[in-house]
């Protein structure tokens, strides 16, 4: 095994400190950047970063391409490295050794960049699949109730798993069916405040979530400051092996257990495994299926924490190919045009953006 370069390790720690405290990057983002830098180090055999030049840049790109990685992965890797070496070129001991022009040789072609940024087809669970999953999940023990409620809760809120594991009991207003994602206590994306009402997808999912809150408060005797979805309490058995023993009063350290719960639940149901984030796509798919009027669609967008409807449509609103064909082939039927224009007028009136008015 090739030993790591101590000089590189020191400068990487400095860069991680810069990313966190000066550039404001989240821990997850920093880990992804560190992974990109480690890939480059592995390619060079942990050579000194100061030896970087255009030949190494081109060689590393060729190495990434030869491994048949996704173009999106290659783009994120070289983008992270370009920023790293750009920062490094301004640091003492590297200024005279790293040429800024050489860094540009890390760039991908315009064609590859477009391919990397092209939206990928995503597997989105149907609401009926989620209902099937929670229907067959056991709910006898506190841990089983938590797991079942977690899937139901994320299905009707679309809350990201990283935020869900930081929620406390007090953040759920059962009377208003409202989840208060206060960024001072909840790990929301970009530190935004997000007020999320339960989406009216199915009453059974909502009841599971409400029952879970009642169980926490009246059976488990959780305080308002205790976690809404607590980690599992582990104890030692007679063989000094860990075994689950109810619920802890602590939050999960990361979202890995949440994804494991999803994986096990969908597998046991005999269905393709879906991630917590896929539920956000499912919610927008349901909005399309229900043919929501513009004002309601905007409300659903805000409920997901988006600044505007355009974010929702571009990030989660891609229509599956089969549905795309159905809509295209069914377009132009009598009455469709009048209904469409009415909706466009309603949307323009709602958003107050006359610049997008397609009508005279």
CA pseudo-torsion sign 213, 217, 221, 223: positive
φ, ψ for residue 181, nearest 5 deg: -95, 85
Q: Answer yes or no: do 227 and 193 share one domain.
A: yes
Q: Which residues on neighbouring strands pair with residue 195, listed in sequence order?
A: 180
My answer on whether 102 and 151 are in the same domain is: no
Mean pLDDT of 245-262: 95
Does residue 328 lie within any of the structural domains? no
Q: How many Cα atoms within 13 Å fall on the side-chain side of residue 303? A: 23
Question: 305 in a domain, yes or no?
Answer: no
CA distance 50 to 94: 6
Residue 223: which domain range? 127-279
Average pLDDT, stretch 92-103? 95
Q: Are residues 184 and 261 in the same domain?
A: yes
Q: What is the mean pLDDT of residues 244-254?
A: 92
In a domain, 356, yes or no: no
18 and 152 assigned to the same domain: no
For the cut 60, the answer to whether the pLDDT of residue 303 exceeds it is yes
The residue out of 238, 256, 279 marking a domain boundary is: 279
Reply yes or no on whether the pLDDT at 205 is more than 50: yes
Q: Is the pLDDT of residue 33 over 70?
A: yes
What pLDDT, on the 0 to 100 scale, is given for residue 128?
97
High-pLDDT (> 90) share of the chain, % = 72
354, pLDDT greater than 50: no
One domain, residues 106 and 157: no
Distance CA 278, CA 127 (A): 11
Tell which residue, 341, 284, 342, has the closest CA to residue 314: 284
Q: Kindly tell me if the per-residue pLDDT of 138 is higher than 50.
A: yes
- pLDDT for residue 339 is more than 80: no
What distance in Å separates the CA atoms of residue 171 and residue 174, rounded to the nearest whole number? 9
Stretch 77-87: mean pLDDT = 97
- Token pair recorded at residue 140: 């006898």
175 and 251 housed in the same domain: yes
Report residue 221's pLDDT band, with 50, 70 and 90 as the boundaries.
very high
pLDDT of residue 236: 75
- Cβ atoms < 10 Å from Cβ of 244: 12
Across the chain, mean pLDDT equals 89
Burial annotation 246-268 (CB, 10 A radius, 16+ → b, else e): ebeeebbeebebbeebbeebbee
CA dist 264 → 144, 155, 258, 269, 352 (Å): 12, 16, 10, 9, 46
- Six-digit token pair at 243? 């075994």
Reported as type and span, the H/E element at residue 172 is strand 172-173
Which SS3 state, helix, strand or coil, does residue 104 take? helix
Shared domain for 89 and 168, answered yes or no, is: no
Q: What is the pTM of this model?
A: 0.72
Strand partners, 173: 178
pLDDT at site 346 = 62
Looking at the fold, whether 98 and 171 belong to one and the same domain comes out as: no
């Amino acid at each position: 095994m090739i030993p790591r370069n101590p000089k590189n390790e020191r400068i990487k720690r400095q860069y991680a400190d810069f990313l966190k405290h000066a550039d404001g990057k989240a821990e997850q983002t920093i880990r992804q950047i560190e992974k990109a830098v480690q890939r480059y180090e592995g390619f060079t055999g942990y050579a000194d970063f100061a030896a970087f030049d255009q030949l190494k840049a081109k060689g590393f790109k060729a190495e990434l391409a030869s491994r048949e990685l996704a173009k999106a992965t290659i783009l994120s890797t070289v983008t992270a490295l370009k920023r790293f070496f750009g920062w490094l070129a301004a640091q003492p001991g590297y200024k005279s050794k790293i040429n800024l022009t050489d860094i540009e040789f890390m760039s991908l072609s315009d064609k590859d960049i477009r391919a990397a940024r092209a939206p990928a087809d995503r597997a989105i669970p149907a609401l009926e699949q989620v209902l099937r999953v929670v229907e067959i999940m056991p709910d006898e023990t506190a841990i089983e109730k938590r797991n079942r409620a977690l899937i139901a809760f994320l299905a009707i809120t679309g809350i990201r798993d990283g935020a869900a594991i930081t929620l406390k009991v007090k953040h759920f207003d059962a009377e208003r069916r409202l989840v208060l994602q206060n960024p001072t206590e909840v790990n929301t994306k970009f530190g935004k405040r997000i007020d999320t009402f339960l989406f009216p997808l199915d009453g059974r999912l909502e009841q599971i979530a409400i029952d879970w809150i009642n169980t926490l408060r009246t059976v488990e005797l959780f305080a308002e400051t205790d976690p809404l979805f607590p980690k599992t309490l582990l104890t030692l058995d007679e063989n000094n092996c860990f075994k689950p023993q109810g619920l802890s009063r602590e939050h999960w350290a990361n979202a890995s257990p949440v994804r494991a719960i999803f994986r096990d639940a969908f597998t046991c149901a005999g269905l393709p495994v879906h991630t917590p984030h896929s539920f956000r796509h499912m919610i927008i798919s349901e909005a399309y299926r229900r043919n929501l009027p513009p004002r309601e669609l905007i409300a659903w967008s805000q409920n997901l924490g988006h600044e505007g409807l355009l974010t929702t449509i571009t990030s989660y609103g891609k229509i599956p190919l089969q549905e795309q064909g159905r809509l295209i082939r069914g377009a132009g039927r009598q009455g469709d045009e009048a209904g469409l224009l009415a909706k466009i007028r309603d949307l323009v009136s709602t958003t107050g953006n006359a610049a997008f008015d397609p009508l005279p």
